[in-house]
C-alpha cells in the first residue's frame, strides 16, 4: 500500500495546508459553509494549549465564568466604534419559537457588551475591584473567505474581561496578559513572536489601545496570534460601569479584554510543518512518542517477543510522556512511519527482532528526521531529553527563518519591489509617521499592512517610508492572513 504524498509547500502552500489539516485528522469541513468540525486529534492539541493558558490565567488571579451566546442587538449598538467595526461580521437572529423576536439577537462575535452589562450589576464600590474574568467559549463572525482554523464562521477561544479602578491598572493588565501570550507562543508552541501596539486603524473596535503578538508563517506571511486591549472607559461609559471611590465619588471603571483562539493551531501547522506534514512542538503534541513495533508477517514468536518489549517501554516511559503504540498489522512499517510523520509526532520509537537481540531501540526525530540507536536502558533518560531538544530546536529554527526573512528599509521603491506579487517575501521594518493616510496608501499600493509597532524600537528617529516626514517609530509591515 503506497503512501500518498502531500502537495509540496513550495508549490502551493495553501493546498499543502488544507491537505495537512484534513489528512492529519485535525479538522474537516462542516455542512455549513465556513464552519469546521474539529476532530479528536485537533481538539487534543487545542486542549493542551488551553491547559497552558488556563494555568497562567489562574496564577494571575483570573477566574473562569460563562456568558450567553445571544446578545441583544441594542447592546452592540451602544458603543459606536464597536458596532461600526463588527457590523459586517454579525450573525443576527430575528425569529425564535416560530415568532418574530421583539428585539433581534446577535450571535456572540465577542463579549465586551454583555459582560459590560453584567459588570454594571456587580460593581458598586472600589472594594469590588478589580474584577478579573476569563471565558472559554465559541464566537461567530461571518467570514467571507473562510479557511480551516485561520478564519471560520465559528471558532473557539478564550476571552478575558477585566475592570479596574484606574487607567494605570488597566494598562498594566493589558500588557501582563500580552506577556502571557508571548510566553505560551514561544515556550509552548515554539513560535517566535513580535510583541507590539496596533495602529489606530488596525486596533480593536472600541479600544483605547490594542496590543498584539505577530508571527511569521512558513510562507513568510504574518499571522496575528493573540491580542490584548486596553478599552479605556469607552465600554464603561456605554454600559454605566461605575463605582464609588474612597472619597465616595462616582467614577467610571477602566476595562480590558484579551483573547487567543484556535487560530493558534493554524499557526503551529504553518510555522513548523514540512512536505511530510505536521511537526508538533512536544509540549503541546497530543502524542509525544509513537512506538512502532516490527515483526515478520505470520511469525507469532517474533510478534510475542516484540510486543513484550513494547510493554516494557510503556512501563518505563508511560508515566513521563504521552505515548501510544501503533501495532496495526494491516499496514506496513513504512506506511506507519509516514502516517505518524504526517501527524507530526515528535519522536518515533522503532523496535524489531534485531533490536531485541541487541537490547536497543531506534529513535526517529520528527524535526530533523535523524535516527538514533540507543540502549533500552537509556530510554528513561534519553527520550525526555530528546523531546526538550526538539522543542528548543523548533523555536530556534522558526526564529532563524523569521530573522532571515525580515529586512529594514527606508526607500519606498524598494519597499514596493519587496512586496510585489501575490506571495510574500517576509517582514519589513520601516519608519512610519503614524498617519492613517500613509498607512492606507501603503496597503492600497502593496497589500501590506502594519502588523504592529514593536515595543523594541531603535534609539534614534527616522523618516516615514512613504511620505518622508519625521517619524519616531518603526512598524512591521507584511502581507498577512
Q: Are 51 and 136 in contact (CB under 8 A)?
A: no
Chain CA centroid to CA 23, Å? 20
d(CA 56, CA 184): 9
Phi, psi of 326 (to 5 degrees): -115, 95
Match domain 289-387 to its CATH number in 3.90.650.10, 3.40.50.800, 3.40.30.120, 3.40.47.10.
3.40.50.800
d(CA 228, CA 230): 7
In the numeric block, the cell 528599509 is attached to 409
Q: Are 347 and 292 in contact (CB under 8 A)?
A: no
d(CA 196, CA 225): 12
| Residue 259 CB coordination number (10 Å) | 23
Instruction: Tell how strand 154-164 and strand 371-375 pair up.
Output: unpaired
Query: Which tens digit of pLDDT belongs to each residue from 378-409?
Result: 999 999 999 999 999 999 999 999 999 999 99
- Please report, in tens digits, the pLDDT of each residue of the chain (481 residues total): 568 999 999 999 999 999 999 999 999 999 999 999 999 999 999 999 999 999 999 999 999 999 999 999 999 988 767 767 778 889 999 999 999 999 999 999 999 999 999 999 999 999 999 999 999 999 999 988 899 999 999 999 999 999 999 999 999 999 999 999 999 999 999 999 999 999 999 999 889 999 999 999 999 999 999 999 999 999 999 999 999 999 999 999 999 999 999 999 999 999 999 999 999 999 999 999 999 999 998 899 999 999 999 999 999 999 999 999 999 999 999 999 999 999 999 999 999 999 999 999 999 999 999 999 999 999 999 999 999 999 999 999 999 999 999 999 999 999 999 999 888 899 999 999 999 999 999 999 999 999 999 999 999 999 999 999 999 999 999 999 9
DSSP 8-state assignment for residue 127: G
For the domain covering 13-272, report its CATH number.
Answer: 3.30.930.10
Question: pLDDT at position 1, please?
Answer: 58
d(CA 118, CA 133): 12
Burial 131-168 (b: 16+ CB within 10 A, else e): bbbbbebebbbebeebbbbbbbbbbbbbbbbbbbbeee
Strands (E), 233-368: 242-244, 250-252, 254-261, 289-293, 323-325, 347-351, 360-365
d(CA 174, CA 439): 25
Question: pLDDT at position 187, please?
Answer: 98
Domain residue limits, the chain: 13-272, 289-387, 406-478
Chain CA centroid to CA 143, Å? 18
406-478 domain in CATH 2.60.40.420? Answer: no
Angle, helix 263-272 to helix 379-404, in steps of 10 degrees: 90
DSSP 8-state assignment for residue 107: E
Question: pLDDT at position 2, please?
Answer: 66
Cell matching residue 124:
458598586
Compute the C-alpha angle 40/226/131, nearest 5°. Answer: 100
Instruction: Tell how strand 323-325 and strand 289-293 pair up.
Output: parallel
Q: Are 426 and 406 in contact (CB under 8 A)?
A: yes
Amino acid at each position: 500500500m503506497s503512501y500518498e504524498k502531500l502537495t509540496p509547500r513550495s508549490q502551493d502552500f495553501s493546498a499543502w495546508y488544507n491537505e495537512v489539516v484534513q489528512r492529519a485528522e485535525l479538522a474537516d469541513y462542516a455542512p455549513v459553509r465556513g464552519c469546521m468540525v474539529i476532530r479528536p486529534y485537533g481538539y487534543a492539541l487545542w486542549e493542551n494549549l488551553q491547559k497552558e493558558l488556563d494555568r497562567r490565567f489562574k496564577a494571575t488571579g483570573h477566574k473562569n465564568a460563562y456568558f450567553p451566546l445571544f446578545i441583544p442587538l441594542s447592546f452592540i449598538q451602544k458603543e459606536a466604534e464597536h458596532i461600526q467595526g463588527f457590523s459586517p461580521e454579525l450573525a443576527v437572529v430575528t425569529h425564535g419559537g416560530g415568532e418574530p423576536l421583539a428585539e433581534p439577537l446577535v450571535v456572540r462575535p465577542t463579549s465586551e457588551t454583555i459582560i459590560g452589562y453584567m459588570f454594571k450589576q456587580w460593581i458598586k464600590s472600589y472594594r469590588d475591584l478589580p474584577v478579573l474574568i476569563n471565558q472559554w467559549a465559541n464566537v461567530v463572525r461571518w467570514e467571507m473567505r473562510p479557511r480551516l482554523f485561520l478564519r471560520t464562521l465559528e471558532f473557539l477561544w478564550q476571552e478575558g474581561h477585566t475592570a479596574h479602578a484606574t487607567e494605570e491598572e488597566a494598562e498594566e493588565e493589558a500588557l501582563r496578559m500580552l506577556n502571557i501570550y508571548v510566553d505560551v507562543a514561544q515556550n509552548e508552541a515554539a513560535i517566535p513572536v513580535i510583541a507590539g501596539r496596533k495602529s489606530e486603524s488596525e486596533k480593536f473596535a472600541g479600544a483605547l489601545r490594542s496590543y498584539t503578538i505577530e508571527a511569521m508563517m512558513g510562507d513568510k506571511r504574518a499571522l496575528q496570534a493573540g491580542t490584548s486591549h486596553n478599552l479605556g472607559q469607552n465600554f464603561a461609559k456605554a454600559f454605566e460601569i461605575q463605582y464609588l471611590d474612597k472619597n465616595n465619588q462616582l467614577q467610571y471603571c477602566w476595562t480590558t479584554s484579551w483573547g487567543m483562539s484556535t487560530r493558534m493551531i493554524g499557526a503551529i501547522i504553518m510555522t513548523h510543518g514540512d512536505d511530510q506534514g505536521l511537526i508538533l512542538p512536544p509540549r503541546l503534541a497530543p502524542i509525544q512518542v509513537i512506538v512502532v513495533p516490527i515483526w515478520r508477517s505470520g511469525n507469532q514468536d517474533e510478534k510475542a517477543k516484540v510486543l513484550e518489549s513494547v510493554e516494557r517501554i510503556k512501563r518505563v516511559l508511560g508515566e513521563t510522556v504521552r505515548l501510544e503504540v501503533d501495532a496495526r498489522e494491516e499496514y506496513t512499517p513504512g506506511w506507519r512511519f509516514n502516517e505518524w510523520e504526517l501527524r507530526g509526532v515528535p519522536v518515533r520509537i522503532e523496535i524489531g527482532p534485531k533490536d531485541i537481540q541487541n537490547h536497543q531501540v531506534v529513535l526517529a526525530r520528527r524535526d530533523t528526521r535523524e535516527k538514533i540507536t540507543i540502549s533500552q536502558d537509556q530510554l528513561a533518560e534519553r527520550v525526555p531529553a530528546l523531546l526538550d531538544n526538539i522543542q528548543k530546536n523548533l523555536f530556534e529554527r522558526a526564529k532563524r527563518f523569521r530573522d532571515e526573512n525580515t529586512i529594514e528599509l527606508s526607500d519606498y521603491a524598494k519597499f514596493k519591489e519587496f512586496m510585489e506579487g501575490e506571495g510574500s517575501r517576509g517582514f519589513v521594518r520601516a519608519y512610519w509617521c503614524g498617519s492613517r493616510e500613509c498607512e492606507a496608501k501603503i496597503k492600497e499600493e502593496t497589500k501590506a499592512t502594519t502588523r504592529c509597532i514593536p515595543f523594541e524600537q531603535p534609539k534614534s528617529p527616522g523618516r516615514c517610508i512613504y511620505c518622508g516626514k519625521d517619524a519616531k517609530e518603526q512598524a512591521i509591515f507584511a502581507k498577512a492572513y
